[in-house]
Structure 1
Amino acid sequence: MIRVVLADDEAMIRAGIRSILATDPGIEVVAEAADGRAAVDLVRAHRPGIALLDIRMPRMDGLSAAAELRVAMPGVAVIMLTTFDEDEYVARALAGGAAGFLLKASDPRELLIGVRAVADGGAYLSPRIARKVITRLTGGRLARADAARAKVQRLTPRERDVLALVGRGLSNQDIGLGLSLSEGTVKAHVSAILLRLGLSNRVQAAIVAYEADLIGGDLGEG
């Protein structure tokens, strides 16, 4: 069962999200909050697998809540949910350790896909967000590509294989199936990759994989 703490300052939005999540029998909303401070407290109390946070909330916004949870509850994956897709929000969310970024205007199925993907150890960006990230990356592509290639040279060949599949958004289970590895071994490889490359989360790893030309296609697919 995927346990979720949901935080949004609009009661009707929370009700809609809760209803969508309830269509999947494998997902349970265990607590709800109307502000970021309460969300952090509820995550500490309930220890869910996922914290689904709106970006704009009173007392503490979702980005600040995500940053606090990254330190206090690193085992909880954070998905940001918002009506806004401005570059500043996306950049801060990724830097703050978010494993997913979803737009409220997206197809409801995307919410379920994103929650499932992140719960399985993957990362998920709404396709619209993924395109913005890639467009932003291509601005200084050559310099970043050289830096990314230099980074991935620190990895073993197997770690580069794993990184390429992380870049395609695959879960640990799917990576294991693709490379004939146990899920535990994949987790160990992912942890080693993040440590060697000085990265905070799988989304940042996926960006490095893209910049180093380890993968093809858009982030968020696969």
Structure 2
Amino acid sequence: MDKADQVALVAGRNEYLRLALKTILTDQLGFTDIVQAASLDEAMEQLSHKPKKSLALFDDALPGIKSVACLTAVRDCFPNLRLAVLSKSHEKQDVLAALEAGVHGYVPKAIGPAQLTAALRLIMDGHIYVPPIVASIRPASEGVQVLQSVPPVKPPIDNLTPRQREVLELLMQGKSNKEIARDLKLGEGTVKIHMAALFRVFGARSRAAVAAAGSQLLSS
């Protein structure tokens, strides 16, 4: 794939990790611009302001990532974006959870630069990358059963980022996306991303259902 004039987002808490990834993306994969973010909310705002990014790399220790629903919302809002997660975990259930969220690659932080470059190249060429240690994962239909065997997740309200909670509270007041964007000084595109995350976290299909679910949890 031709990487000319392509932009990538690198989102991670650690500045040195971001710089290392930036070097690989520019020197080895030919990306012309790398945008960095230090939190999930910042990453979502960057994606909204400049949506024509072709690749996004998320450290799973990124502040704000408490649920794979966050990454599913990114996939929903940016279907043409190639999305990869970097993680310390080698547990199959963590890899399966990431794949269920729709990521295109699960990359261990422990792999070397050459392996990382090869993994990112595969992802950009349209493939799904998983580390060799979990390459024997069973088909997704069976993988869902594995996911169901893990301990129950925290209540949805605990999985929200601070910004998503703000959006939820304004939604519960009956405000439109435009009004929420004005009150929080965000772009409407950014609000739409947070709304998509709320829909996914609460398993809702309407704004009213999200507001009702949020009202119940916040009052309990």
TM-score bracket for this pair, using the shorter chain length: 0.5 to 0.7
TM-score (norm 2): 0.55
Is residue 2:10 matched to residue 1:6? yes
| Deviation for aligned residue 1:57 | 1.6
Distance across 2 between alignment mates of 1:25 and 1:82: 21
Is residue 2:45 matched to residue 1:34? no
Calculate percent identity across the aligned residue pairs: 24
Aligned counterparts, 1:133-144, within 5 A: 133=137
Deviation string, structure 1 residues 86-118 (Cα, Å, up to 9, x no partner):
223211100000111111111212222222222
TM-score (norm 1): 0.55
Relative to structure 1, the CA distance from residue 87 to residue 25 in structure 2 (aligned partners, 3 Å threshold; closer, same or farther) is closer
- Residues 60 and 86 in structure 2, CA contact (< 8 A), matched pair in contact too: yes
- Residues 6 and 14 in structure 1, CA contact (< 8 A), matched pair in contact too: yes
| Deviation for aligned residue 1:45 | 2.2
Q: Give 3-state SS (helix, strand or coil) of 1:80's partner.
A: strand
| Deviation for aligned residue 1:61 | 4.5
- Residues 8 and 53 in structure 1, CA contact (< 8 A), matched pair in contact too: yes
Rg comparison, structure with higher value: 2
Relative to structure 1, the CA distance from residue 117 to residue 11 in structure 2 (aligned partners, 3 Å threshold; closer, same or farther) is same
Select 1:130's aligned residue among 135, 138, 155. 135
Note the residue ranges of structure 1 that are not aligned, 5 or more in a row.
142-222
- Residues 122 and 129 in structure 2, CA contact (< 8 A), matched pair in contact too: yes
| RMSD (CA atoms) | 2.3
What amino acid does structure 2 have at the position aligned with 1:22?
T
Distance across 2 between alignment mates of 1:64 and 1:56: 15
| Deviation for aligned residue 1:29 | 4.4
| Deviation for aligned residue 1:22 | 2.8
Query: Which of 18-27 and 117-126 deviates more?
Result: 18-27
Point out which structure has higher relative CO (alpha carbons under 8 A, 6+ apart).
2
What amino acid does structure 1 have at the position aligned with 2:41?
R
Q: Give 3-state SS (helix, strand or coil) of 1:27's partner.
A: coil
Aligned length: 136
Distance across 1 between alignment mates of 2:113 and 2:68: 22
Note the residue ranges of structure 2 that are not aligned, 5 or more in a row.
144-220
Which residue of 2 is the match for residue 121 of structure 1? Answer: 126
